[in-house]
Amino acid sequence: MPAASRLKDLLGHVPATAELAWALRGGDAPIDGFKLEELRVQLPAWIDAVQNSPIKTQTGRKALVFATLHYWIHHASLLSLALCGLGHDVTLAYLPHATWKADVPRFDLRRRDAYARSVFAPMQTVLPVESFLNAPATPLPNSLDAAVEQVSIMDVQYTQQVEEVDKSSQLFQLRLQSNRAAASAALAWLQREQPDVVILPNGLILEFGAILHAARHLSIPMVSYEFGEQRGRIWLAHNQSVMLQETDALWAARRNQLFTDAQRAEVQELFATRQAAGLFRHFYRKWQDAPAEGAAQVRTKLGLDARPVVLLAANVIGDSLTLGRSTFSGDMSTWLRRTLAYFAERKDVQLVLRVHPGERNLDGPSVADLVKQAMPELPENIHLVGAGDPVNTYDLVEAAQLGLVYTTTVGLEMAMSGRPVIVVGRTHYRGKGFTQDPASWEDYFTMLERSLADLLAAQLKPAEVDQAWHYAYRFFFDYPQPFPWHLLHFAKDVEATPLAQIFTPEGQQRYARTFDYLMGEPFDWDTNQPG
């Protein structure tokens, strides 16, 4: 370690040195990419809105809102102030991290913290803001430490897009140290303050996951939230990570309700738009780049013959919607390898493996790399469609007679097309009445054999297809809740819906239920119908 780095490391543990160094720079400058300047500018108007809220009372609940990374801190600040303006007793806690991938000297973290505290100083007039950076380090209980280690494993999987993790690696050790510190700080605060609810983004990975487990260890209710591809909507979960997309209670409450023609038309419009590589209403993301050409065209393009086609739609390795989703396979990679080996022996069937198009925007290993490692020379009956290949997935769905998926939504869409689907991972639509859901390797290969033995008989019955369409409506239109400020469109959304508007009768009519859910009030799927 260079002498300068050793000195900085030493000074990082000497009281007041980092804070003094920051003050000598002027006392208001961002530190090393950790920028809260937009928040600094917006806070006065937000604080004024809270102080003038006509519905601010003293009858609310006590909540801890936690965030790290400057963009989540910015968003959580507004969320905390909104809850405060609704009458709740809210504390905002943060860690001054700009990234989760790099080891930052403690000296620099403390300088960031001094900067953050200067930004938050006006906010302290309406709610407490706590830094978890300087909390005393205390050993975690064994069960909590094991949970934090699992979070750290998922951090590496997510960061490097891998499923096998080397625990001796620098990244794993960094994540473990940071997550342990966050869990320790949260544990001490929660034991002392005993809030009614802990609110945090994601809840699966990084310090978010570590603090979720700290709250769970103390049996304190927690709410996790995230944002999907719909503007004006938020995903919410109680007492677990929202990334699991748990819809069991929603489906139990509404599966027997009438699925109207108008609701079906909405789903049809959504999927027609997806198929055509367009944008649907308030959705901001396309699912395909190449418009549909039809099954005949894709068969010709891929050189498929008259043998039956099985479509395997892969997820991105290490994606946050696949982490912790194993049912029996251990991970997605193991399932892919064993499935490839199976179809290498089934010359009577053609397997098309569709690599997730989302891989184009990522730097980690591809499913295509995994396939090449497992089979340097693909058998003639196995076809690989790369992430960037100009092939519309819906054409593949039309051409296939059977689907194999881990957690991707393609499995739901195949069921909506009447195709039998074997679901290996713990995805939200598993077990909803229209998929085959193996619980072991024996189940999996038995289902494969049975389906391939009579593909015509394996096709879904009309009632099952209708069930899939009904579920799709509930997932895309009922599960996400109305919310004014999407993380990816934050600046525009704040301009369109200022904080003060939330406290008006119109704002309450639209968003009050969502804020109740955020404060841990039970989901009332059986009585509350979407507007």
Instruction: Give the pLDDT band (50/70/90) at residue 289.
Output: low
Cβ burial, residue 266 (10 Å; 0-12/13-18/19+): middle
CA 412-370-427 angle, to 5 degrees, is: 25
The encoded tokens of residue 509 equal 């009519």
Instruction: Name which of 90, 73, 72 is nearest 81 in CA terms.
Output: 90
Average pLDDT, the chain: 90
pLDDT in tens, 266-283: 998 888 877 765 544 444
pLDDT in tens, 371-411: 999 999 999 999 999 988 888 888 999 999 999 999 999 99
Task: Write down the pLDDT at residue 527.
Answer: 79
Q: Is 3.40.50.12580 the CATH classification of the domain at 258-478?
A: yes
The yes-or-no verdict on residue 287 having pLDDT over 90 is no
Task: Write down the pLDDT at residue 31.
Answer: 61
Unique residue bearing structure tokens 């001054």: 96
Q: Which residues of 216-247 are buried (b: 16+ CB within 10 A; e: fewer)?
A: bbeebbbbbbbbbbbbbbbbbbbbebbbbbbb
Measured CA to CA, the distance from residue 171 to residue 149 in angstroms comes to 13
Q: What single DSSP character describes residue 476?
A: I
Tell me the backbone φ, ψ of residue 288, rounded to 5 degrees: -140, 150
Cβ burial, residue 60 (10 Å; 0-12/13-18/19+): middle
Tell me the backbone φ, ψ of residue 287, rounded to 5 degrees: -100, -15
pLDDT in tens, 207-246: 999 999 999 999 999 999 999 888 899 999 999 999 999 9
The yes-or-no verdict on residue 19 having pLDDT over 70 is no
The yes-or-no verdict on residue 530 having pLDDT over 70 is no
The encoded tokens of residue 487 equal 């993380």
pTM value > 0.85: yes
Task: Write down the pLDDT at residue 284.
Answer: 42
- Read off the pLDDT of each residue in 135-164 and give the average, rounded to a whole number: 94
| Greater model confidence, 274 or 350 | 350
Measured CA to CA, the distance from residue 104 to residue 25 in angstroms comes to 19
- Read off the pLDDT of each residue in 123-130 and give the average, rounded to a whole number: 97
The encoded tokens of residue 142 equal 């064994």
Instruction: Give the pLDDT band (50/70/90) at residue 531.
Output: very low
Task: Write down the pLDDT at residue 276.
Answer: 64
pLDDT in tens, 491-512: 999 999 999 999 999 999 999 9
pLDDT in tens, 89-117: 999 999 999 999 999 888 889 889 999 99
| Among the ranges given (29-33, 374-378, 385-389, 414-418), the one the predictor scored with the smallest mean pLDDT | 29-33
Q: Residue 115 CA to chain centroid, in angstroms?
A: 29
| Greater model confidence, 487 or 272 | 487
Cα separation of the two ends of the chain: 60
Task: Write down the pLDDT at residue 24.
Answer: 54
pLDDT in tens, 301-343: 999 999 999 999 999 988 877 898 999 999 999 999 999 999 9
Task: Write down the pLDDT at residue 10.
Answer: 53
The yes-or-no verdict on residue 141 having pLDDT over 60 is yes
